[in-house]
Amino acid sequence: MKARILVTALVTASMAFGAFAQNHSFDIDLKKVGAPIQPTMDGIFFEDSNFAADGGLYAELVKNRSFEFPNALQGWKSFGRVEILDDGPFDRCPHYARLKDPGHKDKQTGLENEGFFGIGMEAGKEYSFTVWARVPDGGEGAIRIELVTPASMGENQFFTQDRIRISGAQWKKYEAVIKPGVTDPKAVLRIFLEAPRTTIDLEHVSLIPGDALEGVYRRDLAEALADLQPGIFRFPGGCIVEGTDLDTRYNWKNSVGPVENRPINENRWEDTFPHRLYPDYYQSYGLGFYEFFRLSELIGSEPLPILSCGLACQFQNDDMSAHVPVDELGPYIQDALDLIEFANGSTDTKWGALRASMGHPEPFNLKYLGIGNEQWDAIYPERLEPFVAALRKQHPEIKLVGSAGPNSEGDQFDFLWPEMKRLGADLVDEHFYRPEAWFLSQGSRYDNYDRKGPKVFAGEYACHGVGRKYNHFHASLLEAAFMTGLERNADIVHMATYAPLFAHVEGWQWRPDLIWYDNLRSMRTASWHVQHLYGLYKGENVLTLTMDGAPVTGAEGQDGLFASAVKDGNLIYVKVANTSESSRDLSFNFTGLKKKDADPVAVERVVFTSDSLYEDNTLDDPDAIVPVEVPFSGSGRTIGATVPPQSFTVFVFER
């Protein structure tokens, strides 16, 4: 049995196994083993919106660490005599700061970095400070580094400090480990000249918590991903792939190589929403394609990069001049070919050698690649076509993902699906951020899909409640209900990823999201728990489950019930979402057993429900709404149970 982090609850009257009217009879056929459930079925979608990378999963605590923002001191406060120069040691990030003697013994020269909504520091935890520095005129100097509570927060006091001696006119990397004695989510990093106050140049100032996974990933957030056991990891988005314009599209080649030399990119979510403006939102690319591939490996997912097809975000660009003409797509197609070489190529190829130099000589074993995010109109297939031709020719082993546009149905959707089929896409990426009624009506969405065409990738979805476009339990319940249809149709649905994934409580542009955090704490939403349950009880093959001969899809007359069944070795997992306001009595009838076969035995029941339908977990109360194990026993070819109103339950039987 897999490790499961669930709370065990006392049996409540409504959940108890006991007297019930068996008016919802689920027939589960154990004779016929259905389609295999792809290991990629349940996964995660990462996009650097909502401060998901810098300020989120990327553990770097210093904003604008290389002084490369258009306003070179954005994120910094300077005091004394500070200059910005641009002939530094890293050609793609040439700026650096020069600190000079303030000219009076009682004055200071230095810098303070505000971090991302402050710098979260925890008492007793180690933080690794690094900086590239030199004494331009030769000789020796020193800097003092401190973590302090900013003056604006009241008492201006430092909690930890260290002195670093800098010597010589050559750029060198210096390191110090600091350990604050106090916890503060909004500290600042202060650096200032110390005696002998010789001029010192500073470049790429970094502060990373000592517990960051591999020194890169914020630990609690990485763990929240790993716990989902995701089969597929899509990155880097989302619209960020396309950019507000082509200049701001995600350029994977800028995101690899030494972090000191990765040029920043204006984050395309910086000013998309005037009511949620973040004029200091840039991508450091510290979490770049190497780090995404590596994270896929660490959490056991297949990587699925999505690349620009040469169309800038179509929501923001009506004019064809914003896009790459079809006959000029060469460099974009080359980017795709080079990415495959970066991921899988031998170490004697250009890009494979770069991967090796970054610490990973073994290939990442890339199998999937998406071209284009949410694209539409004929301008998309006509661009996709030359990509497909080149990729099929050179890399027939790579499965290609095309887009069905931004809508779950409608003209564009109807136009793009046959186009994807014509072009031979292996998977089609469908997106649906839709309201409650849509989710309730889509239990059978895939039951009648064309089995001969591409497979389905439900690449971005979440229930957006009408008037309640934020995280709450009810939305997660409807997602759980809808997912029974994904599972039942595992022969055609090969991947599904909820979106967006991450959000900083002080820096979001989109909601709902799967995981929320501030500088020190994180919270897994009810939707996360639904994804978690699907990950834990994934199973190997679909089993046929019917009620009165029909799949249980929330259809009229099915009393708000949605259900699916899978087998996992000798275990049977039955998932039941009861979206109605009444409890429902069920009986599980196991068919297809031979006389001599042993009877199934009830072994486990996990119930996810809440009295607070429109609430969710919070940073202060992160476990307010969690699935609980409820005792479950019984054996035989018919086993009964009751499911509470508005609940999602996973039943486990053994045979």
| Binding pattern for the stretch 422-461 against ligand AHR, x by CB under 6 A and - elsewhere | --------------------------------------x-
Q: Are 154 and 102 in contact (CB under 8 A)?
A: no
Task: Identify which of residues 60 and 513 has a Cβ nearer to ligand AHR in the complex.
Answer: 513
Tell me which amino acid residue 61 is.
Answer: L
Nearer to ligand AHR, 373 or 579 (CB): 373
DSSP string, 416-467: HHHHHHHHT-SEEEEEEEE-HHHHHH-TTTTTTS-TTSPEEEEEEEEE-BTT
**Peptide bond before residue 363 is cis, with ω within 30 degrees of 0:** no
Q: Which two tokens stand for residue 207?
A: 């502060």
Long-range contacts of 70-75 (CB under 8 A, 24+ apart): 72/97, 74/280, 75/113, 75/114, 75/115, 75/280
Task: Give the interface segment with ligand AHR, choosing from 82-90, 111-119, 233-241, 582-590 (CB under 6 A).
Answer: 233-241
236 binds ligand AHR (CB under 6 A): no
Please tell me whether the peptide bond between 138 and the residue prior to it is cis, using omega within 30 degrees of 0. Answer: no
Peptide bond into 381 cis (omega under 30): no
Residue 115 or residue 372: which is nearer to ligand AHR going by CB? 372
In order of 91, 118, 136, the CA distances from 66 in angstroms are 12, 18, 18
Among 239, 329, 427, 586, binds ligand AHR (CB under 6 A): 239
- Contact between 373 and ligand AHR by CB under 6 A: the answer reads yes
Using rule CB under 6 A, residue 363 touches ligand AHR: no
Closer residue to ligand AHR in complex, CB, 345/406: 406
- Beta-carbon contacts of residue 110 (< 8 Å; ≥ 6 apart): 78, 79, 80, 82, 99, 143, 190, 191, 192, 193
Which stretch, 234-242, 316-324, 600-608, 609-617, contacts ligand AHR (CB under 6 A)? 234-242
404 is an interface residue for ligand AHR by CB under 6 A: no
Letter string b/e over residues 441-475, b meaning 16 or more CB atoms within 10 A of that residue's CB: ebbbbbeebeeebbbbbbbbbbbbbeebbebbbbb
Please report how close the Cβ of residue 517 comes to ligand AHR at its closest, in angstroms: 17
Least CB distance to ligand AHR at residue 500 (A) = 4
Decide whether 111 or 246 has the Cβ nearer to ligand AHR.
246
Residue 11 per-residue DSSP state: P
110/500 with CB nearer ligand AHR: 500
Tell me the three state secondary structure of residue 527: helix
Using the contact rule CB under 6 A, the part of the chain among 211-219, 232-240, 450-458, 489-497 near ligand AHR is 232-240
Pick the closer one to ligand AHR by CB: 419 or 460: 460
If the CB atoms of residues 230 and 238 are measured against ligand AHR, the closer one turns out to be 238
Backbone φ and ψ of 549, nearest 5°:
85, 0
Which residues between 19 and 78 bind ligand AHR (CB under 6 A)?
47, 49
- The structure tokens listed for 585 are 């009595």
374 binds ligand AHR (CB under 6 A): yes
* Site size for ligand AHR (CB under 6 A): 12
Helix, strand or coil, per DSSP, at residue 470? coil
Under the criterion CB under 6 A, does residue 420 sit at the interface with ligand AHR? no
203 binds ligand AHR (CB under 6 A): no
Binding mask of the shown chain, residues 314 to 353, with x at each position contacting ligand AHR by CB under 6 A: ----------------------------------------
Looking at the Cβ atoms of 399 and 464, the one nearer to ligand AHR is 464
Give least dist CB 623 to ligand AHR, A. Answer: 26
Q: CB 238 → ligand AHR: shortest distance, Å?
A: 3
DSSP H stretches of helix in 310-459: 330-344, 350-357, 379-394, 411-423, 436-441
572 binds ligand AHR (CB under 6 A): no
Picking from 440, 650, 472, the residue whose alpha carbon sits closest to that of residue 561 is 440
The residues, ordered by sequence, that sit 6+ positions from 297 with a Cβ below 8 Å of its Cβ are: 364
Stretch that binds ligand AHR, among 6-14, 237-245, 450-458, 609-617 (CB under 6 A): 237-245
Residues 544, 590: contact at Cβ < 8 Å? Answer: no
List binders of ligand AHR among 458-477 (CB under 6 A). Answer: 460
388 binds ligand AHR (CB under 6 A): no
User: Which of 80, 406, 551, 554 is in the footprint of ligand AHR by CB under 6 A?
Assistant: 406
Dihedral pair phi/psi, residue 314, rounded to 5°: -75, -20
Q: How far apart are CA 337 and CA 330, in angstroms?
A: 11
What is the per-residue DSSP string for 545-561?
A: EEETTB--BS-TTSTTE
Name the residue number minimizing CB distance to ligand AHR: 238
Which residues are identified as catalytic?
374
Cβ 474 to ligand AHR shortest distance, Å: 20
491-550 residues near ligand AHR, rule: CB under 6 A: 499-500, 510
Applying CB under 6 A, the residues found at the interface with ligand AHR are 47, 49, 237-239, 373-374, 406, 460, 499-500, 510
